[in-house]
Amino acid sequence: VLIFFFFKQKTAYEISACTYFFFFQAEDGIRDAQESRGLGDVYKRQYQRRVHGELSKFLMQRLNTLTQQLVAAQRQQDDVFADVQLAPPDVILGLTLAFKADQDPNKVSLGVGAYRDDDGKPYVFQSVRKAEQKIVSANLDKEYAPIDGTPEFIKAAQKLLFVGEDVLAKYGKYVVTSQCVGGTGSLRLAFEFLNRFKPGTVYVSNPTWVNHNQIVEYMGMRLVEYPYWCPEAKGLNFPAMIGSLRQAAPGSIILLHACAHNPTGVDPTAEQWREIAQVCKENKLFPYFDHAYQGFATGDLENDSLSLKIFLEEGLQFLVTQSFAKNFGLYGERVGAIHIVCNNAEVAERVRSQLKIVVRVTYSNPPIHGARLVQTIIGDSQLFEEWKQELVQVSGRIIQMRTLLRQELESLGTQGNWDHITSQIGMFSYTGLTPKQCDLLTQKYHIYLVKNGRISICGLTTKNVSYVARAIKDVVENA
Amino acid sequence: STQSTWGIIKMLSNSIKKDLYKVVQRSFSSFWANVQQGPPDPIFGITDAFRKDSSSQKVNLGAGTYRDDNGKPFVLECVKKGQALSQQKYHDYEYLPVPGLAPFTDVSIRLAYGADSQAIKEKRVAALQALSGTGSLRLGAEFIRKFMPAGTPIYMPDQTWANHKNIFTSAGLQIKEYRYYQPKTRLLNLEGLLEDLNNLPERSVVLLHACAHNPTGVDPSQAEWRQIRDIIQKRNALVFFDMAYQGFTSGDTELDAYAVRLFADANIPILLAQSYAKNFGLYGMRVGCFSVVCQSEEEARRVQSQATIIARGIWSNPPVEGARIVESVLNDKELSQLWHKEVKIMADRVKTMRDQLVVNLRKSGSPHDWSHITKQIGMFAFTGLQPPQVETLARDHHIYFTKDGSCLLYTSDAADDLLCVDLCGRRIIYK
C-alpha cells in the first residue's frame, strides 16, 4: 500500500512485484514458470544451504538477482522471441559434434558422408592442390560470378554429368545449367523452382537422405514415400517401388538417386532404370535425380551416370542436382549445380530466366572459389586424368573396406547374413542394425553412426575395422 | 514456285505443317509450358548490356563494384596477404558447421557491434555465417516469417536496393513502405520518415540501411538517428539493419556502425545483415554474417538453433574460403590495420570522385544544382536523372546507369576526363 502511495503506477507494480518475489516463494509459481529463468531453482538451493553465518551473503545474492530482474523488466515487456523454442541439433551433423567431444581413444566416426583416408584424416586431392596453385598464380580478381555461374563452370559441370563422348552433344543442347551452393543448395533451388512453376506431390524413396524430407516439408510440398528398401532381402524392393510409381498422379515429382543411393547403397539395374523411365513417360511423372556420388558407385564416371543416359535416350525431360563435395573433396567450398533438361531452345531460355530470379532472391550469385577449382581441373586434360585416377583410388579404398568389414564379421561368426556389406554401393552401408543396437554401439564402443543403421564406410580404416566388427558382433548378439 | 493452284496449295500446306510442328513441339514441351520469360535483373542486367556493348568509350555506372582509377577491379593488399595466411592456417576443405566458421562470426559481430559491446559481453548475440548480404537478408526474412506473428509486414524505405523487395516477398512477407527520400532536395525526408515510423503498428519490422543508403546515398545524421531510435523504441519495433558498406562510407568503421550500435545499446531487438563484398572486395566469395541481438544468453541460444535449421535447408553450411580470409585479416593486428587503411583509401576515392563530378558538371555550364551529389554518401549517387535520360545515355553515349538514375561513382577514365551532360540533353561536353 505504501509503495503504491509513493510511486507512479507502473513503477509501483514493478517494485511490488520484485518485493513479492523477494520475500514470497510461491510453490507453483516461480520455480515452474518458464519466464523465471531458473530463479526459483536458485531460491530453492539457497533455502537448502542457508545458515545464520551466510545470511549476509544470501541477502547480497538476493539483491543481485533483484537488480537483474529490475533491469530485465526495463527491457521490452513481452519478449519478441519468447516463443522461439530451442531446436534439436541436426541429426547427422550433430553426430560429428558429439564425436569431436568424445575423449575415448578408440572412437570411430561412421556418421557423416565425408571421405577419410586410411589414417582417418580428411583427404585433399592432389589434383585439387595443383588447381589451387594454378589459380593463385593466375592472380584472379574476386568479382561477382554471373547469377547462374561462369560459362566455364557450366561447361565443366555438363561435361562431367553427361560424360560419354556423344551424350552431351546429342542430348545436351537444351540443358539449362546453373551453379548452386553445394548439393543442398541445388536441392533447395530445385524445389523452389518446382514449387513455383510445377507444384506437385513429391515422391521420395523410403528411406532417403534426411535433408530431402526436411526440405520438401519446409517448402510445404506434399510428400509421399515409395517403397525402396527391403529389410529382409537387404536390397531393393523393385516390384513395390514400381507399383507405387504406377499409382502416382501425373505431374508428380519422383526423387531418384542417380547412383549410390543414400543411405541404403542399393541401386536399380539398367533394366530396372528403363522400366522406371517407361512408367514416368506413361504416367507423365517428372523425374528428379540427386547425383552426389558420381565416381563412387562403380568407380567409373560414365557408368555412374548411366541412369541419366537411359532417361535421356527415352526422351524424358528431367532435373538433376549435382554435388562436387564428395568426388572432388570440396565439401566446404559448396560447389554444386542444377541441370534442367528441356525440349527446345525457347523453353530453355524461359526456364533459365526464371531460375536466375530464384537464385537472385536467395543468395544473388554463387561462390567463385570452389567453382574455379572444378572448372580448372575439368578444363585441363592432364589434371582431369589425374583427378580421375585419384577418384578411382579413393572409391577403391571404400570397396576394400567393405570387403574387410564383411570378412571380419564373417570370421567372427557374427549372427546373420552380411552379404549386403559388399553388394551395396557407394559411401554408405545400410547395415540393418536397429536403433537400440546403434545406441549401444555409440555408448559402449564410442562408434558414431546414424540411428537408422547407416554407416559411412569412409570412416573405416585397416586399423579400426576389427574393432568395429567386434562391436557389431556384440550388439547384434546381445542387444 | 508457280502461280498454279497446286503451287499455292503446297505453299499453304507447308506453312500449316510448320505451325503444326510448333504446336506439337509445344505440347511435348508441355512440362514447362507455363514458365513465362523472366525480366532481366535490374542491376546485373545493366552489366550484361554493358558487356555486349562494343563501344570503346563505354562506362558502367550500374553495378555496385569498386573500380580503381584505371577502371579495373581492385583486390586489396590485405586480402592477398590474408589469403596466403589462411592457406597456412587451414589445410582442408571440410564442411563448416552450419552456423559457419566460429572465429569469423565472432570477429564479425565485434566489428559490427563494437569490441566493448554490452550485448556481446553478455553473449546475447546469435550469429551465423551467410552467403554475403543477400544470403543474410534471406535467412533473416525466413526467420521473421517463421517466428513473428503471421502477416507481420516489413517496412522498407520508399527508395531501396532493388533486390530487397524481391527477397522479402519470396520469403512470404508483406512489404510496406515508409517515406525516406525527398526528390525535391534529393536528401532525407526526415519529417515524412519520422511521421511514418510514428504510425507503425506495434511490433513491426523495420528495414534500415545502416550506412551509405543504396541507391540514394542519403544517410541520416547522428542526431537524426537518435530521433529515429526514440520513435522505434516508442513503437516497440524490431529493426532489420542492412550493413553492406561498413568502412566504405566515411572511411571509419566505428562511425559507419553508429546506428547499429546506437540501437543495440537502446535494447531494441535487432537483426543485422553484414556483407563483406564491398569493404573487403570479396564480391564473388559470398561472405557475410547474419546476427540477432537477443534479450539474454539463453534466448540467443534458442534463436541461433532455429536460424541454424533454416540455414541447413537453404545451403546446409556456408562456403569456407571467404570467411577464412576475413577471419585471417581481422584477427591479425597488422593485417587488420592494413585493411582499415585500404578501406579508407577506397572511401576517400569515392568522395574525391563526388567532388570532381560536381566541379566538372559546373564547369560544363550545367545550370542545375548538383550539390546533392556531394551531400550524399557512399558508393552511389542518386543523380535525379529520369528513365528516358538514362536510356539516351546508354544508347548514344554508352554510359550505363540503373533505370532509377542511380549511378556508381567510378568511371573508367581518370578524374579529368569526365563526361558531362546537361540535364536537358542539349549540350554534351567531353573533357
pLDDT tens sequence across B205-216: 999 999 999 988
Q: Do A87 and B295 touch (CB under 8 A)?
A: no
Average pLDDT, stretch A135-152? 93
- Is A90 labeled as catalytic in the residue annotation? no
Reported confidence tier of residue A21, pLDDT bands at 50, 70, 90: low
Phi, psi of B332 (to 5 degrees): -110, 125
Chain A residues 414-443 with a CB less than 8 Å from chain B: none
- Is A28 labeled as catalytic in the residue annotation? no
Question: Catalytic amino acids of B?
Answer: 161, 242, 278
Is residue B422 scored above 50 in pLDDT? no
Query: In terms of CA atoms, which chain A residue is nearest residue B287?
Result: A367
Find out whether A124 and A329 touch, Cβ atoms under 8 Å. yes
Is residue B401 scored above 70 in pLDDT? yes
Reported confidence tier of residue A130, pLDDT bands at 50, 70, 90: very high
Q: Using CA of residue B397, residue B400, residue B405, residue B406, what is the dihedral sign?
A: negative
Is residue A48 scored above 70 in pLDDT? no
Q: Which residues of A touch B32 (CB under 8 A)?
A: 197-198, 317, 342, 347, 350-351
Find out whether A264 and A430 touch, Cβ atoms under 8 Å. yes
Reported confidence tier of residue B405, pLDDT bands at 50, 70, 90: low
Q: Which residues of A touch B93 (CB under 8 A)?
A: 122, 124, 128, 329-333, 370
Query: Mean pLDDT of all residues in chain A?
Result: 88
Query: Closest partner residue to B32 among A142, A329, A347, by Cβ?
Result: A347
Of A338, A220, A82, nearest to B142 by C-alpha is: A220
Query: In terms of CA atoms, which chain B residue is nearest residue A96?
Result: B97
Q: Do B298 and A37 touch (CB under 8 A)?
A: yes
Q: Do A80 and B203 touch (CB under 8 A)?
A: yes
Of A411, A408, A403, nearest to A429 by C-alpha is: A403
Chain B nearest-CA distance from A356, in A, is 9
What does the alpha-carbon distance between residue B273 and residue B290 come to, in Å, rounded to a whole number?
A: 5
**What was the pLDDT predicted at B176?**
97
Q: Which residues of A touch B132 (CB under 8 A)?
A: 363-364
- Is A290 labeled as catalytic in the residue annotation? yes
- A133: number of Cβ within 10 Å: 11
Of A392, A404, A398, nearest to A457 by C-alpha is: A398
**What was the pLDDT predicted at A8?**
77
Lowest mean per-residue pLDDT among A42-56, A385-399, B231-245, B333-347: A42-56
Tens-digit pLDDT profile for residues A263-288 = 999 999 999 999 999 999 999 999 99
Chain A nearest-CA distance from B84, in A, is 9
Reported confidence tier of residue B72, pLDDT bands at 50, 70, 90: confident
Chain B nearest-CA distance from A110, in A, is 16
Reported confidence tier of residue A90, pLDDT bands at 50, 70, 90: confident
User: What one-letter code names the amino acid at A74?
Assistant: Q
Q: pLDDT: is A20 or A350 the higher one?
A: A350
Is residue A247 scored above 70 in pLDDT? yes
Query: Closest partner residue to B269 among A80, A329, A349, by Cβ?
Result: A80
Element (H, E) at A357: helix A345-360
Which residue shows C-alpha cell 513502405? B177
Reported confidence tier of residue A140, pLDDT bands at 50, 70, 90: very high
Whole-number percent of chain A with pLDDT over 90: 70
Q: Do B79 and A215 touch (CB under 8 A)?
A: no
**What was the pLDDT predicted at B20?**
61
Is residue B414 scored above 50 in pLDDT? no
**What was the pLDDT predicted at A71?**
55
- My answer on whether omega of the bond before A122 falls inside 30° of 0, hence cis, is no
**What was the pLDDT predicted at B403?**
67
Average pLDDT, stretch A179-202? 95
Query: In terms of CA atoms, which chain B residue is nearest residue A252?
Result: B31
DSSP A144: P
Reported confidence tier of residue B18, pLDDT bands at 50, 70, 90: low
Which residue shows C-alpha cell 567532388? B355
What does the alpha-carbon distance between residue A259 and residue A269 come to, in Å, rounded to a whole number?
A: 10
Is residue A64 scored above 80 in pLDDT? no
Average pLDDT, stretch A457-477? 95
